[in-house]
Amino acid sequence: MKTAAIHSIFLETTGAVTDTRKIEKDSIFFSLKGANFNGNEFAEQALKKGAKYAVVDEAKFNTSENIILVDDCLKALQKLAKFHREYLKLPIVSLTGSNGKTTTKELINAVLSKKFRTVATQGNLNNHIGVPLTLLSMNKTTEIGIVEMGANHQKEIEGLCNIALPDYGFITNFGKAHLEGFGGVEGVIKGKSELYTHLIKHQKTIFYNADDKIQAEKLHGYKNKIGFSTKNESNLKIEQKDSNSYVSIYYGNKAINSNLIGDYNFTNIAAAILIGKHFEVPDEDTKEAIEAYTPSNNRSQIIKKEDRTIILDAYNANPSSMEAALNNFKRLQSNSKLVILGDMFELGVDAEIEHQYIADLVAEMNFDNAVLVGENFFKTKSTLIKFKNFNDLQTYLKKEQPKEQNILIKGSRGMALERALDLLK
């Protein structure tokens, strides 16, 4: 069946789903395949649960008039999303980067939703499946779409751009993330810059950090760009107020006091302000939106436990974000500090040297207490307390209840270090 015909059917439904556990009444189910499952086997189940249609790509599962047979379910989903995006003709703001994508996306959405009906990527649905689902969640009432794009290999951002067809774009930064897949830092820069390449090719608008030398160099000579800077008056001039904890930002004669910690969030907030100004969101609304935003989902969360303050940043970690978090934690004025760090994933051949660098950095910072967790950190040549896995950390925390009042917990998602919260009484 052609994409236009599937789109006509899609418009009759309540939306697209790829997981039978999330079936909504009158939705359309796409039978995607994974390493350990075949979605085609769940098509009938999806219909029984309330889906109006199911899309399959194996003829033997084409068993009723409410089942649509295609050559490839994933490609059909992606083509449908692109068709729907072109059908709606709404402006799409896309963003990518090594660190801070999701927080920046949420800040941008908070600001723009003060003036427009927006739809933004939910959670971390930013890959070859998540981006199409985000686009398909938009409808005729949507005025601006905000699409986060993640990648860990070359050409992935290019592919997502060819589906979402962004009109605007922003890259948060280039850092040491997914080094294994990208093939080193230069590979990261090249891969993330595929968003720039797409926007420049189609003469679309780029938002950028003019103080970032890599971004400034890549956009040199491109006229359709709008930047923020702490130095250059030709861009949106921003300043950061020195603070012991939460980030405060100034532009013009206005001040915004956020609920975000860490200097690394300064540029994330600045991007939201810049994009809000471009879309003529009133300054007071921008201020209100940013000051009301509170991080969640293990991303730089501030958690108070009796007389303790815990910074939980256990959603993701790479050498760049780890160093930034440690530098910020070091600057906090406090009588006592504990650092609990978990392994950083997807570093490939760089894993040993990057984990050793972070272990050495922690030792140099001379925190009151520091604990390293995970196979990579366990292999480092360090005199810090080290555990090979979470179970060993759990035993330690139960036996040696830390006394420190300020605690930083950071590691890659796979380490699930948020489990330590219940052990810190």
Taking only the tens place, the pLDDT of each residue in 338-361 is 999 999 998 988 999 999 999 999
Question: What is the DSSP secondary structure assignment for residue 61, as one 8-state letter?
Answer: G
Burial 4-30 (b: 16+ CB within 10 A, else e): eebbebbeebeebbbebeebeeebbbb
Q: List every span in the chain annotated with CATH 3.40.1190.10.
A: 90-292
pLDDT value of position 179? 67
Mean of per-residue pLDDT scores for the chain: 92
| φ and ψ at residue 378, rounded to 5 degrees | -65, -30
What pTM does this model have? 0.85
pLDDT value of position 322? 92
Q: List every span in the chain annotated with CATH 3.90.190.20.
A: 301-423
**Nearest Cα to 296, choosing from 147, 417, 123?**
123
Q: How many other C-beta atoms are found inside a 10 Å radius of the C-beta of residue 160?
A: 27
Q: Please, are residues 346 and 180 in contact by the beta-carbon 8 Å criterion? A: yes
3-state secondary structure 264-306: HHHHHHHHHHHHHHHCCCCHHHHHHHHHHCCCCCCCCEEEEEC
Q: List every span in the chain annotated with CATH 3.40.1390.10.
A: 3-70
Question: What is the DSSP secondary structure assignment for residue 345, as one 8-state letter?
Answer: P
**Looking at domain 90-292, does it have CATH number 3.40.1190.10?**
yes
Helix 101-112 and helix 283-292, axial crossing angle in degrees, nearest 10: 140
As a whole number of Å, the CA-based R_g of the chain is: 23
pLDDT value of position 136? 98
Tell me the CATH number of domain 3-70, given options 3.40.1390.10, 3.50.50.60, 3.40.50.11290, 3.40.190.290.
3.40.1390.10
Q: Please, are residues 77 and 132 in contact by the beta-carbon 8 Å criterion? A: yes
Query: Any residues with CB less than 8 A from the CB of 63 and at least 6 apart, and which?
Result: 43, 44
- Residues of the chain short of pLDDT 70, as ranges, are 176-183, 242-244, 297-298, 425
Which CATH homologous superfamily contains domain 301-423? Answer: Mur ligase, C-terminal domain (3.90.190.20)
Helix 185-192 and helix 194-201, axial crossing angle in degrees, nearest 10: 30
